[in-house]
Amino acid sequence: MNKEVSGKVNIFWFRQDLRLEDNPALQAALKTKLPLIPLYIWDPEGEGEWLPGGASRWWLHRSLESLHLELVKRGSALVLQEGNSEKVFLEILSRYPVQGIYWNHRYEPLILNRDKKLKIKLESRGIRVESFHGSLLFPPDSVLKEEGTSYKVFTPFWKRCLRQTIHERTSGSPSLFPPVPSKAISLPLEKLKLNPAVAWDTGLKKTWQPGSLQALAQLERFLKEGLSRYPEARDRPDQEGTSRLSPYLHFGEISPLRIWNACRRAELTTSQPGIIRGSETFLRELGWREFGYHLLIHFPHTPQSPLREEFNRFPWRTDIRPLDAWQQGQTGYPIIDAGMRQLWQTGWMHNRVRMIVASFLVKDLLHSWQEGSKWFWEALVDADLANNTLGWQWAGGCGADAAPFFRIFNPILQGEKFDSLGTYVKTFCPELRELPTQYIHHPWLAPDPILKSAGITLGKNYPSPIIDHSLARTRALQSFAMIKK
């Protein structure tokens, strides 16, 4: 950093808010009219055991690259630093006459505690520190029952949310930034080593374009092509029925308020049939995201431990072969294998399929939900601690408003219901493409001549089922009965 800086400067600390539009902390920093250092700190140590996984780091590299280009267009630049966040700030303070530091909240327990301590230390040095809620519609500690306690059931939580006022913010993107102080030193993006050392990311490159501009474009596509049919199409992995906004939301390339306002405007201005119903259904899913953060704040132990304590006694299995088969998409159940391969190839999985593969791991294979959570954390571009935890505890029957453990998805019936023609399966399990539709979700029942005609040899180029679902279901219910005694 340059020591020869005259006059006060401000710092805006980018975190999971990698956008210029509808960014309350950034707007507050810009109002001061002082020179501004737009700062991003790559602090692996500060993330604790929840360092972003490989797919998330891939996304982060490209998001930072896109953000830097947006800043350059406006006369600024992104300043990259690496290391302990507190030490980075102290180094900057030793070289710059900093007046204020601005950031938007993060809500992961470790980060939340770190930020509170950091704010106290900075303020003790006479620095003005302002923090804002920019990644949620409702701060997670603001939605409480009448008696002041937290919710554990989604529907009353969401009803309470809808009774609150959603405050409007100036959502425009600033057209011009104050200059970055001269000679501010930024690390090259490659120095952060976010890209994979081995090039496994071909599928990610084909599937995604990170960045706030792409987030806005994706939202517009969804509003025009997907919102009206969302209630039915969202459960069909063989269709483009979901918004695919989750990674953009996680990295803050788009705000939930921007999405909320866009959907509400569509309700008022679009004559397309089904828009109102589609918007209400979609915004309810946005509500589940809010619920995940509500639970994370009030039950900070849940990323590692079940909310329902009796599940600490569950007799999980630890045999590695079934876990490996699940991770690699080699279980012999096509809808499971297609989902796990989609995850590995694209860094994303359709939400209906996430529920199916999670049920299979936890209930058919009796492997702990924590194992699934860890694998998703590494492989998802939208890996989010609050929502990853909520999803896996829901699937495992051990969290808030969770599916009962005895509700066990049948992967054959789920495939037949939601991928009736096998389109999704055949996309990610190409070895099954020639198999007739009536056998696509249970190839082991196909007669040998049919298998031979389709070029399939079970156990060689496509696996036989690693477990019988009906027997696995019985075993799961017996295991569940053990913890109820």
Q: Catalytic site residues?
A: 285, 288, 316, 351, 369, 392
Q: Are 190 and 241 in contact (CB under 8 A)?
A: no
Tokens of 252: 């803050």
Beta-carbon contacts of residue 23 (< 8 Å; ≥ 6 apart): 17, 104, 134, 255
Could you tell me which of 68, 75, 100 has the C-alpha nearest to residue 174?
A: 75
CB 311 within 8 A of CB 395: no
Helix (H, G, I), strand (E, B) or coil at 41: strand
Hey, what amino acid is at 210? Answer: P
| Residue 23 burial (CB count, 10 A) | 28
Nearest residue to 181 via CA among 26, 66, 10:
10
CA 303 – CA 393 distance, rounded (Å)? 9
Given a contact cutoff of 8 angstroms between Cβ atoms, the answer to whether 58 and 346 are in contact is: no
Contact between 237 and 350 under an 8 Å Cβ cutoff? The reply is yes
What pairing do the DSSP bridges indicate for beta strands 9-14 and 98-104?
parallel
Residues 111 and 125: their CA atoms lie apart, in Å, by 21
For 103, phi then psi, to 5°, come to -155, 160
User: To which H or E segment does residue 107 belong?
Assistant: none
Spatial distance between the Cα atoms of 333 and 409, rounded to a whole number of angstroms: 12
Residues paired with 104 in a beta bridge: 132
Residue 105 three-state SS: coil
